[in-house]
Structure formats: C-alpha cells, structure tokens
Structure 1
Amino acid sequence: MRALPIAIACALLLLLAAPAAAAERPPHFWHTAAQAVAIADKQPMVRRLAARDPSLRGRAHVADLGLWLVVYRDARGVKARVQVEDRTGDVLEQSPYAYPRTGGRLGSARVNAELIALALTIVLLGFFFDFRRPLRWRNVDLVALLSLGAAVALFDRGHPLVAVPLVYPPLVYLGARLAWLGFRRADRSGSPLGTWAGNRVLVVGLAALVLGRIAANLLIGGVGDVGYASVFGAASIHEGWPLYVADHAHLDTYGPITYLAYLPFELIWPLKNLVHGYLPAAHAAAITFDVLTMLGLLILGSRLRDRRLGLMLAFAWAACPFTFLTLIANTNDGLVPLFVVAALVAFSSPVRRGILIGLGA
C-alpha cells in the first residue's frame, strides 16, 4: 500500500515537470539532465534492472525544490524512479511527497506525542483551574483554549470536515472576550491568573517541564518542510546562494528575518544536502526560540507585577499542549511568539517596541 501514494506522487510530478534538454542546465541548476541520469545510472537498483534489460533508458525531469527525477522505462512501462538532489548530486530516498523529507520520527511517535500533550493538558488544568469557583471567567478561558485540542486530534486522524468547524467556537469566544475586556472599565483588583502552587513548586515544575520539552524535541521530534526550508534559507546566506529567484523550484518560502534567525544554528550544524536524518539546526533553533520565549515571559510577568506572575506565565507556556506540539514539529512558528513577548517586554520604549513588532511581522 505504501507504493501507491509514491506512484501517484511521481506521476503527478511527471505531469508538472518538463523533460530537460540533456546538455543544458535549467535556470539556477548546477547539473544537466545528462549528468543527473549518469548519477542515477550508478545506483545498484538501476544496474540490476539494466543487466536484465539492456533496453532500459533513463530520462531526467526537473522536479520541485531543486530536484531531478530520473525515470527509467522499457517497452512495457516505468521500471524505476530515482531522485537526484541538484546541488550535491546526492540520490534521495523515495518519498511520496513533493519535497525531500528528513528522517524525523514524529510520524512513528505520534501516539507518544499525543499522550504527552494530553498529560500537559491535565497539568495545565490542575495548576490553573479554580475548582473552588468553577464558574470563574478564568476557568472558562482555560477550557476554551484547551477545547482546540479536540479539533487537533480529529484533524490528525483524518477528519478535517469535523475538525475545522470545531476551531471556530473558541475563536469566536476569544474575539468576544477580548472585546469585552477592552471596552469595559479597567479593574486592577487582583490578578486574572492564579494558582494554588507556591513559587518553589512553580520553579521545580517549570524546570521539569522545560527539560521534558527539550528531551521530547530531541527524541521524538521531526522536521518537515517548514523547518527544512528555514535551514535551507540560512544555508543560502551562508554559502552565498541567491535567496529569491524566479524559479519555482527554489526554497524562497520565508522572509529574510527567518533565515537570519536560523543562520547561527546553520553555521554550527551546516546543511550538507537535501536529506538529513536529524537536521540538528532545526531542532536547536526551535528549542532556543521556545526557551527564550519562556525567559521573556518571566521578565514580562516581573515587570507587570512580580516574579510570581512571571513564573506563572512561563509555567503556563511550558504546560500548554499546543506550544509543545509546535516545539516537537520543529517549525519556525516559535519566532512569532518570541518577537511578540519581546515587544511586550520592550513596551515602554517606542523604538524598541516598534523594531520588535516589525521583526515579528
């Protein structure tokens, strides 16, 4: 059954990709079609097929994201397909997707990730739900936030028609709640965020959550196209490649700020080719963005009121199942809350606030 989506994806790719002239390099490519075929010809699988059938011939097509797709046919049809990365000449593993997948284990560890997210949901409720006054608005806010988990779980199990409508009730509630808070008369009595836990419990719990999040990222986290494209852009800056070109087969997906944010991590763990079994630069970037956001929340809470509020804000972030799922996906989504929190920390300075908001946008 796994071969069926691969065959369908390759067939669609062939419809979209035009056969390239053998001796000419397509725009922004390093290799010609003839060179791509020569690389694919050296693969053991192709050699075995050619030994059995001398009439087997390969033809290179320009695929997406700087890839060559070499298709081998005989009189009876397609016998093999080989993906060749253009810049390095590496042969890629077969994938049913249009982009090269990394070797992250998020797919195989999906159940574990969901169980961890469920455990974090219980922790968040246990620390911040006021069981003595269950009808408080703070409790309703918390339940509305966590109700998004139902949509995430259903979508992950292939029920988008049910999952997508479930996103709207908490969003409508959020809009109405913010409007009510914004237009009502200011009430500064007390704090809207509270917990039964003392500061020592919050510190120990926060440390445990942070270490657990980092371990989960390293052990079960995967890297998809978003994390890969971010590292690829940083590698383009590092290697002096053009960031934005007219060719659709180029990873010019995000703005330069994203690529610059990933550059320090790519310098430490350089991108060598399109296939990485781990892609440590993406893992390191996601973990760093997450930890810096929590540090920012600690500072923000201390400036708004006291250190306890900062601890509660950071703890709530660490215990939130959605920030956890974002972290182990190793996307660049962590940059947005990082800049938002930094802008709030720098709110008293119009210049710094404006710069950080601009960077986040």
Structure 2
Amino acid sequence: MVFPEKALTRLLAAAAAVLAAAAITSTAVAAPPSTPVYDSKGRIIQTPFAPAQVAARLTEQRAIRLFLADDKVADWLSRYPRKNRRVSATYESNPQRCTAGTAGGCWNLRVDWDPAGEIASGRVDDRAARITEAWTGAQVAWKMARGGKGAFGGAKINSTSVWLGFCIVFLLGLAEYRRPLSWRNLDLLMLLSFSVSLWFFNHGNVFASVPLAYPPLAYLAARCLWIGCTGRAVRGRVVWPYWVLLAAAVFLAGFRIGLNIEDSNVIDVGYAGVIGAQRIAAGQSPYGHFPVEKSLKACGAADAEGEIRDRIQTNGRCESANPQGDTYGPVAYESYLPGYWIRGWSGKWDDLPAVHFTSIAFDLACLLGLALVGLRFGGPLLAGALPFAWAAYPFTQYVSSSNTNDALPAAFLIWGFWLVTSAWARGIFVALSSWTKFATLVVAPMWLTYPELKWRPRRLLAYAGGFALATVAAFSILLLEPSPLHAAHVFYDRTIKNQIDRESPFSLWDWRQYHARGIPNLHVVQYVLEGLLVLGAIAFAFVPRRKSPLQLAALTAALLIGFELVLTHWFYLYIPWFFPFVAFAFLAPSGRADPQPEPAG
C-alpha cells in the first residue's frame, strides 16, 4: 500500500505534535528544582521553586529546652561553667535544609562558650518536637568525627562481615598454630587491634577511639625497637607452603580490585591527587591553585547544608572545591599523572576514575614489591607471606577503598628496600617517599649509613646524589610558575606551615582546644616525644653500627610509628606507612640477615 505524499506529511506532522505535547506535559509535571540549575559555564538555566514558608510550631525557648535536655548534650555541657554560656536557636522553614526525613521546618541550635567557641550544635524537628541531630566536642567542627559507616572506604569494607573476613584470613594465613601463646600471634593480634579503635570512630566516639589507638602503636614501636636493636628474628614459621600464600594473595588482590571499583569512595585526599595532576598537566604548580568556593560564581547545586561546591574557577572551568588539598608533597600529585592522562577528570567530585586507577596501581605495586623483597631476603616462603599479609590486612584495603594517597609512600619505600644494597636506589626512593608525605624524612639518615657505619665517600655521595636527583625532579613543577621563588614560598605555606599549625581532635595532643573539664592538655608530653623522635632518627644512623635487612626494616618501622605517635592529626589511613616493615620484622626468618656487600668506596 502506498501513501500519498501529502497524507504522509500530515501524518508525520501530527506525530511530531503529539510528541511535543507529551514532552511539554512531562516537563510541566516534573518536580521543580529546589536549587538553581546551572550549565557548565555557570549560567542559570532553571530557577528553583520557592516552597511556601511554614510557620514554626515550637517557640525558640521550647526548642532550646529540648536540645539542652538531651543526655549527650547535657553530659558534654556539664564540663563547662554556666557563666558566659550562650545558647541560640534559629528557625529554618525549608525542610530540605533540615535533617533528612524532616516533614516541616527545623530549629538550628548552637551553644557557645569562650574561649572554646562553639561547643555544641544540633537540630530539632519543629513538627515532631524531637532532636534529629546533636553534636558535641569534636563533632561540632569535624563532620568526620560524627561517625557513620562508609564515610571512609564505602559501606562494604566497613561492614562487619567483610572487615572480620579480612581479619580472620589474616590470622589463618600467618598465625603460629603450634604455639598459640607465642609472640608471633600476639604481634598479629596487636596489628588487628586498631579495629577496636576504628569501631568507636565509626560510632562517633572520638574521645574513646583516639586513646585506643595508642596502645597498639606503642606496642608495635617497642617490638620493632627490640628486633632492630638485637637483630633477633621472631620465633615461629608460617605453616602454609609459599604457593598457597601466593595463590591466596592473588585471589585477595582480585577481590580488593573489585571492592575498589564496585564499592568504594574517594575522599578529599584522593580527589586532591587528580586536581594536582591536572594543574601540572596544564603547566601550573598545584600549590595555591586548587579550586575554592569563596565568592566565585556558582555552577552547581547546593548540598543539604546549603553549600555550593561547584564554582567557576579562575581558569574558567567549573570545578568542585577542595581548598585544603594542596598540603602534600609534589610526588603526591605527580603520581596521579598517568591516571589523569588515561582516565581524565571532569572537574567535578564525581566517580573520579583516575583516582581509582592510581589507588589500584599503587596497591598492586606494594604487593609486587613485597613479593620481591620477600624473595630476596627470605626466600619463597617470605615471598608468599609478605604480599599475603598486605592483601589480607584490612587497613591496607581501608586505604584502597578510601582511594587516598597513603599507599604511595609505602610503595616507594618497599621498592627502595628491595634495592637496598644500591646507595643510589636508596636515596632515590627515600626522596620519592619523603616528597609524597613528609613522614619518611625521619628514616633518611639511617638509610644513608646502611649497612654499616664506615667512612665510604662514594657510597655516601651516591645516596646523596640519588636523593638530590629525585628531589630536583619532584620539585621541578615549581618552575612552571613565573616566579619559582614565590612558588617555593607558597609551597612552604601550603604544606609544611599548614601541617605545623594544624589543629585536630584525632590525637591526644590537641584536646586542649576544647577547654573542657576532664580533657587533658598533653602538649608538653608531645614536645618531649618529638624531641626523642629526632634523637632516635639521628642515633639510628650510627647504632647499631652494622645493620642487617631485618634490623633496617624493624628500625624503619619503629621510626615511622614514632612519627605517627607524635602527630597532631593521626588517622587509620596512616597505618600502611609502617605496615610493610612491621610485617617484614615479624615474619622474616632468621639466617638471612646479611645483605649483599656493596662496592668499597
């Protein structure tokens, strides 16, 4: 059957009209936006629907009484005198700016007391007359102190089944079955005992989680000091053959990759890596050029708190803000360049495939490096045990699932340890690790004098030359700026000075900021421990005069743990900095202590 041309034209026109009408209708019934909608250039393309103002049912005084009567709030406020305490409440009629699930408006509460400042905050549901949020102490300023599974690493790694699964596999693979009450088993349990502290952190109890992190840190430091000073390996032997451990490590590596891809998140640390890589690729130093909010033109929607992160930056791009991301060493950004070149970056804090790529790559680099270290210094059994330990240890997966840069310094040191008999390699890899996160600088003097304290100018110059070469290469990005001297000053302000001046509730040393009764001021203790750490870093360059690989690994772990013990801001993501060397110290067999000799010089 053949349609006349005019009839066919009319039929198509009618169909187009029907489709257009359907599109208009669907647009008309679609839910209006609650915040402005912007295009990629920051232009408003749709204005928000302004909901009708809902009058408050509670009075300000009633909302305040409800908030102050909360057990958690009352307990914290009991640490402060009533004199000079100020309580305020403001009504918010838009439920989208209240706690999720709020039907009507809400009251925003805050309590201030000088000199501590804001000491409590929260929200009260106006219709239900109940508290929906109550934050005290560290939770007021630090959202990460409020708890909640999945904020770091996603839901899976923080689930009880997955976390305990890693712990059980770790113990089953490395435990000493013939001697249950052995040092080996206690060492393994202490490595896993950080999980108790993490549990309290996930439940928002910082004042319990922080103190619980110090006993395992102190124990591991003491054990590594003992092994490093005596040179005695831990008694015991892994019961499984090396091929079983290697097969398990390969299986776990695949599981870890899947966990990273399917159920992980990227926190600000990992996001900073790809921002820095983009800046370098664009011919700019990262320092002082990270995306900020300030008063820049918005190009995205507001979050639940009313904050708009997406802003048009000075480079003309719409980017999600990360103003404090340029606080790491240059290698922390240069390491993300391959991932950026391969996977790119949209400018937004989205899935960030380049960050996932880098996290997985360095996780695998640690696994491979540990296998080579084990093969060189302990034979096939240690070559299976070390990568298995990394793959099964839950805190290394915690880093991978959080997609941070904390596997980078460990990876560089692992590969430097594999090539430890080369002074050039030691210098290069210590520098790369140090200019990622500055903690590794604490082991630089000891790695300089390895394996023995003798005047060998060629060896010392080779180490210094390797360190200098890697340093120049790392800091060459400052030459991208018009004034390298100014760029160096900005680097210092954004990194070293920023870290020195940093305040944090995630250590025992900075709790004085709360001025609360019963919360100790331990700054003097921190200063003493910092002095001891510096003395230790210098002393271990000279004693023991001759060090085996076992002693070097143990003392490296001890110094890195010591560095973490005195940090003002400590977190579980830092555990993998020292874990490879603790694992070597605890698992290395005796009888393979001496390194291959270096050329005389």
One fold, TM greater than 0.5? yes
The Cα of 1:193 is off from its aligned counterpart by 6.3
2:222 paired residue number: 176
Which residue matches 1:149? 195
Q: Which residue of 1 aligns with 2:65?
A: none
Match of 1:263 among 313, 319, 337: 337
The one-letter code of the counterpart of 2:349 is: V
Answering whether residue 46 of structure 2 is matched by residue 43 of structure 1, we say: yes
Gaps of 5+ in 2: 1-37, 54-90, 97-140, 144-148, 293-322, 435-601
The amino acid that maps onto 2:335 is A
Shift of 1:247: 8.2
- Matched with 1:221 is 264
User: Is the aligned partner of 1:252 residue 2:326?
Assistant: yes
Correspondence for 2:162 among 91, 102, 116:
116
Q: Of 406, 412, 417, which residue of structure 2 is paired with 1:344?
A: 417
* 1:197 corresponds to 2:240: yes
* Structure 1 position 164 matched with structure 2 position 210: yes
The 3-state SS of whatever aligns with 1:42 is strand
Aligned partner of residue 269 in structure 2, secondary structure: helix
* Aligned positions, number: 278
Matches within 5 A, 1:1-361: 39=42, 41-45=44-48, 48-49=49-50, 106-107=150-151, 109-110=154-155, 113-114=158-159, 115-184=161-230, 186-187=231-232, 192=235, 194-245=237-288, 249=292, 250=323, 251-276=325-350, 278-361=351-434
In 2, the alpha carbon distance for the partners of 1:136 and 1:169 equals: 19
Distance of aligned partners of 1:228 and 1:135 in 2 relative to their CA distance in 1, 3 Å threshold: same
Which deviates the most, 108-117 or 202-211?
Answer: 108-117
Larger Rg: 2
- Contact map agreement 2:242 2:383 (CA 8 A) in 1: no
Instruction: Kindly provide the amino acid, as one letter, of the partner of residue 42 in structure 1.
Output: I
> TM-score, normalized by length of structure 2?
0.43
Counterparts of 1:300 and 1:267, CA distance in 2: 30
How high is the sequence identity, in percent, across the aligned residues? 34
Counterpart for residue 65 of structure 1: none
Cα deviation, residue 205, structure 1: 1.1
Kindly tell me: are residues 266 and 157 of structure 1, through their superposed partners in 2, closer, same or farther at Cα, counting changes over 3 Å?
same
One-letter code of the match for 1:283? H
TM-score of the superposed pair, with normalisation by structure 1: 0.69
Letter in 1 for 2:196: A
CA distance in 2, matches of 1:78, 1:247: 35
Alpha-carbon distance change, 247 to 131 in structure 1, aligned in 2, over 3 angstroms: closer
- Separation of aligned partners in 1, 2:291 and 2:270: 19
Residue 252 to residue 150, structure 1, CA distance change in 2 (3 Å): same
Listed one character per residue, the Cα deviations across residues 76-114 of structure 1 (whole Å, up to 9, x for unaligned) are: 999899xxxxxxxxxxxxxxx999xxxxx9449525533
Q: Structure 1 regions of 5+ residues with no counterpart? A: 1-34, 54-75, 82-96, 100-104
**Matched position secondary structure for 2:239:** coil
Q: Is the 8 A contact 1:120 1:320 kept in 2?
A: yes
Counterparts in 2 of 1:357 and 1:192: CA distance versus 1, 3 Å = farther
- CA–CA distance in 1 between the matches of 2:411 and 2:154? 27
The CA deviation at 1:246 is 7.8
> How far did 1:138 drift?
1.0
Alpha-carbon separation, structure 2, partners of 1:326 and 1:305: 27
Supply the RMSD in Å over aligned alpha carbons.
Answer: 3.2
Deviation of the 1:253 alpha carbon: 2.7
Q: 1:309 to 1:39 in 2, by over 3 A?
A: closer
Deviation digits for residues 230-273 of structure 1, max 9, x if unmatched?
11000111122442228893542322211111001001111122
Question: Matches of 2:357 and 2:372 in 1, distance apart?
Answer: 23
2:354 partner SS: helix
Aligned equivalents of 2:258, 2:236: Cα separation in 1: 28
Please give the per-residue CA displacement for 1:148-195, whole angstroms capped at 9, x wherever unaligned. 1110111111111111111111111112212222232x446xx75632
2-side partners of 1:179 and 1:134: how far apart? 23
